[in-house]
Amino acid sequence: MRYTADYWMHHLQLAPHPEGGAFRQTYVAPLTLRREALPATFSGDRAAATHIYFLLRNGDYSAFHRLAADEIWHFYSGDNVLIHEIREDGALHTHRLGAAPEAGADFHAVVTAGSWFGAEVAPGGAYALVGCTMAPGFDFADFELAHRGSLARRFPEHLELIARLTPAPAT
């Protein structure tokens, strides 16, 4: 049986995420890492690890953003998802996450801390249900949402992709 995005939204009790898509945090490690033990990119204590369910529908996107820690994406259900990662040197790497190794998909992908990245369901797909794990754990203090203009000025070679995966500027 192939489940639908609506099934997963209801069954997993997902809610809208500020970067797009829908999510629910499912794990926060009870172990706390003290600020003094973390790199300078962290502004305070963090859980040792966190995990969320994350769902994207065709036409939705996870807007370009960056994080202070590596993020591991895991594929669970649905169609392939493309995770577009722009590294500090401007190199673009697109991870294909899914259950179709013949199409170059993997069950997991790692996005490097500090890279700008966004995600979308691969063309022709209906939805993708994934999980995202971070260690040290996620905290919104370590989350930076991209501004279309400044990201496009920094990486003009990726203008079309940046325009597609960032909110339109307010008028």
| Residues spanned by the domain of 109 | 5-30+50-164
The pLDDT value given to residue 1 = 74
Q: Are 166 and 118 in contact (CB under 8 A)?
A: yes
Residue 114 lies in a domain: yes
Tens-digit pLDDT profile for residues 33-81: 999 999 998 999 999 999 999 999 999 999 999 999 999 999 999 999 9
Q: Is the pTM of this model over 0.85?
A: yes
Total structural domains in the chain? 1
Q: How far apart are CA 42 and CA 70, in angstroms?
A: 13
Q: How far is CA 145 from the centre of its chain?
A: 11
Beta bridge partners of 95: 83
Residue 146 lies in a domain: yes
CATH number of the domain to which 151 belongs: 2.60.120.10
Residue 45 lies in a domain: no
Provide the greatest CA pair distance for the chain.
Answer: 49
Tens-digit pLDDT profile for residues 113-145: 999 999 999 999 999 999 999 999 999 999 999
Residue 100 lies in a domain: yes
Residue 65 lies in a domain: yes
Residue 136 lies in a domain: yes
